[in-house]
């Protein structure tokens, strides 16, 4: 039992109780949209994979810190009611300090979680501007249920409800105290370091599920993949404008025969551009040359405006 307390798996049942309190399960019949650039679309079709991004390499570096900030606030609120000589109180002070994060010393850089992002918004102008590079963007539509079943992955509807975030952080803070004291009573050697490693690994599964309410208009659905050691050789590293980022290619077994990997694409929209009709025919050709049926491509109804 004491040995199990030093592993993330020991805390997974508690994490599941927190997840169950969130309205995180997306509608399986809903089409969700992955907005991307022209080169991104070509790579996706040619490889039959969809890249997921390590959480510290996401476009907005602050979003993954949001959950940590809420936990830090909840832990800090507990300290005044704890005795100064309480060893767990001293542990909380150190843990709170560790939860402080910035670009110079990111805490989440080594997390094994990789995220593929979708939106329930179809042909949305803000999504075209933010995620498809402006002109010559594309949106890949996939039914949510076709994202299910990927090994070591979870498909979630991102939750933006601040009240729920605060309540979950409170429960997590109370559990932090409870689990830490259990380890002390069990006499586990080097318990503080062992506990932080296991507890943080388990708790950070919640981080990609909750997001600052300021992002609510994105209506995001995420496929969250937990990288396994045997998958390390499949990682891809890309140089982006502001960083070198890590990615893991997601494959969809039910829709991807080994001889010709494919994605369960329901539809593709050609974004606002000056030559939508030509691009539609070219994308249809790209799909057919890789084993997809014709007729999956439509064009945006949004007017093109030079950015």
Q: Answer whether residue 44 is part of any domain.
A: yes
Answer yes or no: is 105 within a domain. yes
Distance (Å) of CA 28 to CA 62, 127, 221: 29, 22, 11
By the 8 A CB rule, do 204 and 113 touch? yes
pLDDT digits (tens, 9 = 90+) for 141-194: 999 999 998 888 999 999 999 999 999 999 999 999 999 999 999 999 899 999
pTM over the 0.85 mark: yes
Look at residue 306 and tell me if it is in a domain: no
Nearest to 42 by CA among 137, 177, 119, 179: 137
For residue 304, being part of any structural domain is answered with no
Distance CA(160)–CA(221), nearest Å, equals: 12
**Residue 2 confidence (pLDDT):** 56
pLDDT tens-digit series, residues 99-121: 886 655 556 677 888 999 999 99
Angle 12-20/162-186 helices, nearest 10 degrees?
Answer: 160
| 75/176 Cα distance (integer angstroms) | 9
Token duo for residue 60? 């907005």
Give the pLDDT score at 262: 85
What is the number of structural domains in the chain? Answer: 1
214 vs 22: CA distance, rounded Å: 18
214: CB partners within 8 A, 6+ apart: none
Strand-pairing partners, residue 270, are 138, 299
| Per-residue model confidence (pLDDT) at position 62 | 67
Rounded to whole angstroms, the Cα distance separating 65 from 141 reads 29
pLDDT in tens, 47-90: 999 999 998 888 765 666 888 899 999 999 999 998 877 899 99
In a domain, 262, yes or no: yes
Beta-bridged to residue 81, according to DSSP, are: none
Q: Is residue 148 in some structural domain?
A: yes
The answer to the question of residue 24 being in a domain is yes
The Cα–Cα gap between 144 and 32 comes to 6
Query: What residue numbers bound the domain in which 264 lies?
Result: 4-299
Structural domain includes residue 205: yes
């Amino acid at each position: 039992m004491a040995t199990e307390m030093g592993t993330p798996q020991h805390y997974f049942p508690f994490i599941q109780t927190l997840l169950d309190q969130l309205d995180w399960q997306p509608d399986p019949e809903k089409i969700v949209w992955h907005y991307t650039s022209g080169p991104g679309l070509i790579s996706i079709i040619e490889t039959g994979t969809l890249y997921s991004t390590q959480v510290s390499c996401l476009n907005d570096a602050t979003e993954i810190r949001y959950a940590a900030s809420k936990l830090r606030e909840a832990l800090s609120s507990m300290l005044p009611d704890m005795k100064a000589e309480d060893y767990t109180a001293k542990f909380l002070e150190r843990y709170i300090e560790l939860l402080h994060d910035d670009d110079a010393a990111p805490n989440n850089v080594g997390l094994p979680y990789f995220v593929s992002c979708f939106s329930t918004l179809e042909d949305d102008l803000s999504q075209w501007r933010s995620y498809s590079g402006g002109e010559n963007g594309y949106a890949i539509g996939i039914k949510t249920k076709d994202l299910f079943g990927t090994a070591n992955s979870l498909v979630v509807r991102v939750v933006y409800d601040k009240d729920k975030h605060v309540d979950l952080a409170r429960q997590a803070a109370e559990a932090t105290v409870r689990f830490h004291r259990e380890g002390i009573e069990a006499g586990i050697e080097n318990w503080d370091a062992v506990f932080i490693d296991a507890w943080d690994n388990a708790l950070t599964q919640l981080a990609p599920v909750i997001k600052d309410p300021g992002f609510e208009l994105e209506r995001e659905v995420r496929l969250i993949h937990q990288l396994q050691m045997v998958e390390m050789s499949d990682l891809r590293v890309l140089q982006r404008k502001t960083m070198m980022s890590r990615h893991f290619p997601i494959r969809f077994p039910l829709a991807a025969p080994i001889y010709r990997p494919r994605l369960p694409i329901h539809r593709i929209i050609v974004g606002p551009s000056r030559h939508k009709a030509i691009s539609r025919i070219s994308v249809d050709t790209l799909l057919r040359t890789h084993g997809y049926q014709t007729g999956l491509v439509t064009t945006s109804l949004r007017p093109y405006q030079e950015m």
